Chain A
Amino acid sequence: MKAPVSRNKEAPQSEGLLSPYRVLDLTDEKGLLCGRILGDLGADVIKVERPGGDPARNIGPFYHDIIEPEKSLFWFAFNTNKRGITLNIETADGCEIFKSLVSTADFVIESFPPSYIASLGLSYPILREVNPRLIMVSLSPFGQTGPYAHFESSDMVIHAMGGLMTQCGDPDRPPVQVSVPQSFISAATDAAAGAMVAHYYREITGKGQQVDVSAMDSVAMNGVEGLVEWTVGKSIFNRRGRLNKLGAGLFSPIIWECKDGYASYFFMGSLPGARANQRLVEWMNSEGMAPEHLRSIDWENLGVEKLTQQELDYITKTMAKFFKTHTKAEIQEEAAKRLIMIYPVHNSGETLMNPQLESRSFWVNINHDELNEVITYPGAFAKFSETPIREWRRAPLIGEHNQEIYMKELGMSKDELIALKGAGVI
């Protein structure tokens, strides 16, 4: 095997924010989104899968319900903007090849159980000797060390232990998850943030480091309202269904039934809340549905938190009756005209039809040549004035870029690849 060709830092494509950098992505379902985010920003992300494909390819939903590893929409979602190779890093050959790739890389991201990658002789201290500038992002359920480091986990276990689950769902039912599990999505996003923080330091000092990301910590951040209610308010934020707690102990709805579904309206105090209520009552009044007691309220001076529950219920019952006479589309349209803080509760189809996203060119159509089709995806997560995100590539097929990387870049021969393939290394 020839010495690896050093990476051409003058990337041929348009200079994206991260186009000079290469990422070796060893993550499983716990960390896939991290590489995608870096790939969206232009980095050369190489997804390294075990021969035969990563188990995350078994997660549904599937393209037209064809249950195959090259048709997992879960895989498509989180592996856009990556190339893909297969490599078994548990083998001697695999380890050696991996290390030569590391010498060309700026980031390695992995989500193995803590101590697994060290057991393969690929710990950070060893990789650092191969490449002192390397940043290694290690994402795990609870962190690399500590009393829970070797606990078994799943997305919902993390959701529970991080303190977010207790804040979700109906009070008379068990606490609940989000049906698109969020814990590892959150952790992978934090992994990208941590990678960037380390990257900033590396570009100034030349020194890489390891970034130890904990999914539970990431979820704990998302439960912050409960954290503050406890540490300062000395009360526990338990799931409230469709209600909001105003001030010390008043409850008002956040999710309201409307004619063909639900809408979310956040009844609150303070100036924005007063304005919202004022405008809502004006709308109700324009349709003859605002009774005297509602019209006469001076919202700015009401002091909503000082109402009794009974007084508040009287107000919200009248509003609830009004919402039921309107469809989601009507509510969205009128809210836009009158600048009231009401949004419809949308599903995916309605999200696709939202004129705001459409007008911002949020959706991108990515070519899936292997399916002879074009699929619509969410596009750029931010709009950059100098370096817009506009390079899109679909998720890789299993071993799709083996030839490109192993032969063209690392200079391996066809015979060498045949040997490695037969031996289960690639």
Chain B
Amino acid sequence: MSRQVFEGLKVVGFVQAGVGPSTLKVLNDHGAVVVRVESIHRPDNLRLAYPFQDNIPGINRGGHFAFANNDKLSMSLNLKHPRSRGVVAKLLEWADILVENYAPGVMARLELSYEDVKKINPSIIMISLSQQGQTGPHSLLPGYGPQLQGLAGFCELTGWPDRPPSLVSRSYPDYIAPRYGVIALIAALDYRRRTGKGQYIDISEYEVSVHWLVPAILDYTVNRRNQSRSGNRCPYAAPHGAYPCRGQDKWCVITVFTDEQWKAFCRVIGNPEWTKGEKFGTLLARKRSETELDRFVGDWTIEHTAQEVMTMMQEAGVPAGVVRDSQEVVDYCPQLKHRHFFWELYHPEMGRVTNRGPSFILSETPAELRKAAPCLGEHTQYVCQELLSMPDEEFIELLNDKVFE
């Protein structure tokens, strides 16, 4: 059996909420040893966030925490305790990579800036992911994904022209930075393999979010035009929308780009009178009467379930897809099952939890999820003795001195 990709790679995380753990996740899903440093005095907010398993709050029962933190080790350490410094040094000597996503300034206050960390391990690779970057006049501004999506420009581009801006899910930008974080980390690892040199990486969630909107940015820098929300329209396709189907709040997306798809679409819906003649025969004609077109399409789709609409359209070669909710995505989607996207893991307090794998499958060394998210401090002893080779006496002494809290 092939080794896992990141077997032997040692990672320390001073992380919280979503971005840091998600960046680490690609590494631990592919075999890296990832140690999170936590403390009961300042638990990760995500451990305290609703929803909780069985609706019973608890520091080891948080759903979001469990979802982001599979296959990570949790070491409990009181960073304010003077003797924690020695333990931290051992961790940094051990580690290849340090990932952190605290607000800028926090790591420096903990004497864990890159300058500090480099003194202990000169070739370490350290990455900081923060809302707006480590430098600049707004670097210290607190914020989360929901605010950032407004600042980054997603809200302006989401919703209806006759309505105020709307939201893309809730913390949408939080899912962008982890991808760039992983890409940057592995590139830096490769550079180190070639040159022996570590380095520091500074990622701004704001900046990478702007990267997902570049066509709109260029429309401004080149044409001085501010793109805005356009509902579900596409400049070069019609019909292009989400159409109401049978049932409560059920929708199916239908998108028609070519004459062939249009003819197939008409065939599927029975070649009704309204599709004949000039009014809807060409793309330009359909664009001119798009509101009416959408109404006609909706009058047909409402007679069917979303699944029926998708099936009929797909069989005819028309791009169409059910607007799925999370229940359908998790419990039903046959394609995600085929890809083994979801994994069931066993958690000592929560019982069975659902996690997800990556969106890419490597042919030789696919990801493997093994253990559910850790309870706080679950692996303190393991990390100290097995990973850091701390002698028993030292560990017990530190334990009694309340360093591991």
Contacts and interface: CB of A to CB of B under 8 A. Distances in A.
Given A272-B142, A360-B207, A387-B191, A349 B220 contact: yes
Interface in B361-381: 361-365
Contacts of A360: 133, 135-136, 204, 207
A185 B180 CA distance: 12
A163 B321 contact: no
A15 B182 CA distance: 20
A171 to B, nearest CB: 9
A197 B360 contact: yes
B151 A168 contact: no
Contact of A193 (B183, B190, B324, B361): B183
A401 B46 CA distance: 50
Interface string B300-325: 00000000000000100111111111
Contacts of A340: 142
A151 B253 CA distance: 13
Interface in B238-263: 240-244, 249, 251-253, 255, 257, 261
Interface size class of A (residues with CB under 8 A): 35 or more
Nearest to A254: B146
B50 A248 contact: yes
B24 to A, nearest CB: 13
B223 A64 contact: yes
Contacts of B222: 61, 63-64, 73, 375
A251 interface: no
Contact of A179 (B158, B317, B327): B158
B186 interface: yes
B353 A231 contact: yes
B234 A357 contact: no
Nearest to A201: B5
A341 B168 contact: no
A191 B165 contact: no
B114 to A, nearest CB: 7
Interface in A165-201: 165-170, 173-182, 185-187, 189-194, 196-201
Contacts of B59: none
A341 B131 CA distance: 11
A10 to B, nearest CB: 11
Contact of A265 (B147, B184, B261, B325): B147
B325 A226 contact: yes
Contacts of B257: 154
Contact of A242 (B167, B186, B215, B237): B167
B217 interface: yes
A361 B13 CA distance: 28
A287 interface: no
A231 B53 CA distance: 9
A77 interface: yes
Interface centre among B193, B221, B249, B252 (most CB of A within 10 A): B221
B339 A154 contact: no
B196 to A, nearest CB: 11
A247 interface: yes
B154 interface: yes
A193 B182 contact: yes
Contacts of A167: 168-170
Contacts of A352: 217, 220-221
Contact of A174 (B49, B234, B244, B365): B244
B339 A143 contact: yes
A152 B208 CA distance: 30
Interface string A377-409: 110111111110000000000000000000000
Given A197-B362, A220-B356, A233-B51, A386 B319 contact: no
Given A143-B339, A158-B321, A178-B158, 10 more contacts: A73-B219, A147-B335, A154-B255, A216-B335, A227-B326, A231-B330, A244-B170, A346-B156, A347-B228, A355-B138
